[in-house]
Amino acid sequence: MALDIDGKVALITGGSNGIGEGVARHLAGRGAHVVIADIDVARGKAVAEELDGRFIRTDVTDAAASAAAVALAVEAFGGLHIAHLNAGVTSWCGMGDDFDPEAYRRSMAINLDGVVYGIAAARPAIMASGGGTIVATASMAGLVAVPFDPIYAANKHAVVRLVRSLGQSYEADGIRIHALCPSFAYTNIIKGSEQTLLDMGFPIIDVAHVVGAFQRILDAESTGQCWYVVAGRDSEPFAFRRAPGPRLD
């Protein structure tokens, strides 16, 4: 059964374009109040105004900025029910002679710290609103090896493990938490690299496919799962194998 989100309040980081914008438009179209949190002020304001929502400039690497975004949602619309922690960048800093410490730190700060700070800020507001859902945008790079961008893979793997680790404990607070793990989609994050990715054998998916997966997550009754989104398949939770335990003989 589809979750009724009419009148619910949603915060979307990285909501001015790409997957975040697609999710914001989808939620607003179903009656949700949306708050767009992004560093792109011009585009973020335009999207928020079009959706009758709110915008706040948010650098997700700053814990106080994430807290301010949540506070705006509560102040403007009376609560928070959905947090989509979507802001992200590629790293391309390498792990050989091309290693760039600044690119590494930026990638980890946005892709991992931004999720951690967003979860910490959203949790009490969602609890106070009677419960809801947190969705962190990870990536298929969080489920497989990515030799051409190992740092990106590292922070996305960390998001996947964070979500899996929080699922059960947050369930007692009335919060379901999931990771959205799309393969490459037509967004700014791959702009200029589309043909290279296609030549490497990576089909590129439409943002609408990812938005559909986001709705499947909202409709699910489970928690702590990581939903893959790849070409030609319906999105569903990835089935992790259990790690081997100790031998007792």
Consecutive H or E run containing 208: helix 207-219
Classify burial at 30, counting beta carbons within 10 Å of its beta carbon; exposed 0-12, middle 13-18, buried 19 or more.
Answer: middle
**Active-site residue, selected from the candidate residues 152, 170, 186, 228:** 152
Q: Pairing state of beta strands 9-13 and 82-85?
A: parallel
| Residue 152 falls in the annotated catalytic set | yes
> d(Cα 90, Cα 71) in Å, to the nearest integer?
28
Show the 3-state SS of 134-190.
EEEECCHHHCCCCCCCHHHHHHHHHHHHHHHHHHHHHHCCCEEEEEEEECCECCHHH
Question: Annotated active-site positions, please?
Answer: 152
